Amino acid sequence: MSPSHTPGPARELSPGLVLRDVDPPLRLGDFKLIAFDMDSTLINIECIDEMAAAAGRKAEVAAITEAAMRGKISDFKDSLRRRLALLAGVPEQALEQVWRERLRLNPGAAELVQACRRAGLKVLLVSGGFTFFAERVRRQLGLDFARSNQLEIQHGQLTGRVVPQSWGDIVDGAMKRQTVLDCCSLLGCEPAQAIAVGDGANDLAMMGAVGLSVAYHAKPKVRTQAMVSIESGGLDRLLEVVHA
Active-site positions?
A: 37, 39
Omega cis (within 30) before 25: yes
214 contacts 227 by C-beta, under 8 angstroms:
yes
Alpha-carbon distances of 209 from 4, 104, 191, 193, 196, rounded to whole Å: 11, 28, 7, 10, 9
- The span from the CA of 193 to the CA of 195, in Å, is 7
Residue 165 bridge partners (DSSP): 168
Q: With H, G, I as helix, E, B as strand and everything else as coil, classify residue 100.
A: helix
**Helix or strand run (H / E) with residue 163:** strand 157-163
